[in-house]
Amino acid sequence: MKIAPILIFLLLTAGCATSPTGRSQLMLISPEQAISSSRQAYIQTLQPLEQQGLVDADPAMTKRVKDITGRIIAQAIELYPDAKEWDWQIKVIDDPEMVNAWAMAGGKMAVYSGLIEQLRPTDDELAQVLAHEIGHAVANHTAERMSVALASQLGVLGLGLAVDSDYRGYALTGGALAATVAIGLPNSRTSEAEADQIGIELAARAGYNPYAAVTLWEKMAEVGGSSPVEFLSTHPSPGNRQKTLQRLAPHYMDEYEAPGERPRYAFAE
């Protein structure tokens, strides 16, 4: 039996989805499966840090992050109704050396204190980071990346079987895979550009200046210097990122300048 051709056929005929920007996505893992796995991964990732007192250790910093994130989530729920059913969470991990943030499926998010302490972002700039992560969530990038990782594993398995090797590969599944793709593996440049586009709109609708996306990346480059910060390792920069954001910003000034108080998502205690 020729296993490899069968696996290739299954991959080619696997479920596909369309992202919020109209891009076709490979979906071997459904968004619902990714959300379930991410729920498990989030607990497993944070639990040891909580036991060490490294989660939400600074009440003022945590409040600032939740206030900003809550306003952006409210806009995400309005634009992407599926997100209304999610149990959104955001945690601040106390690590002054780590300049990073991440989001798992279903709105499970974290930001490291090092990003705030080293970049010293304004609220508008911090909103761009958080909105970018929310962009990854609403575009189902965790499910997409889990699907790509699974496809790669199936391809390796098929190759091993096809040449009659004694293949004993170990495949990451469930929560382990969700955590790996959210925290450890780099995003594709395509998904980065998509999260930028979604994020800048969400932040503007939440009342945060879209031009702050440009100054944020200027600060990121300054802090990184000759050694790129961790955020740039897991969030590779699309070509001409700052120019693209500079071009996008004026399109969302009306949303930013719209009168009235912005609603805020209420996090469960």
Active site (catalytic) residues: 133
Q: How far apart are CA 164 and CA 169, in angstroms?
A: 14
Could you count the other beta carbons within 10 Å of the beta carbon of residue 172? 15
Confirm if 128 and 256 have CB atoms less than 8 A apart.
Answer: no
Dig out the tokens for 55 from the structure.
Answer: 């989660």
Contacts for 226 with CB less than 8 Å, ≥ 6 apart:
none
Q: How far apart are CA 59 and CA 63, in angstroms?
A: 6
Confirm if 200 and 252 have CB atoms less than 8 A apart.
Answer: yes
The one-letter amino acid code at 71 reads R
Could you count the other beta carbons within 10 Å of the beta carbon of residue 14? 15
Q: How far apart are CA 248 and CA 18, in angstroms?
A: 22
The one-letter amino acid code at 108 reads K
Could you count the other beta carbons within 10 Å of the beta carbon of residue 239? 8
The one-letter amino acid code at 54 reads L
Confirm if 94 and 50 have CB atoms less than 8 A apart.
Answer: no
| Residue 18 parent element (H or E) | strand 16-18
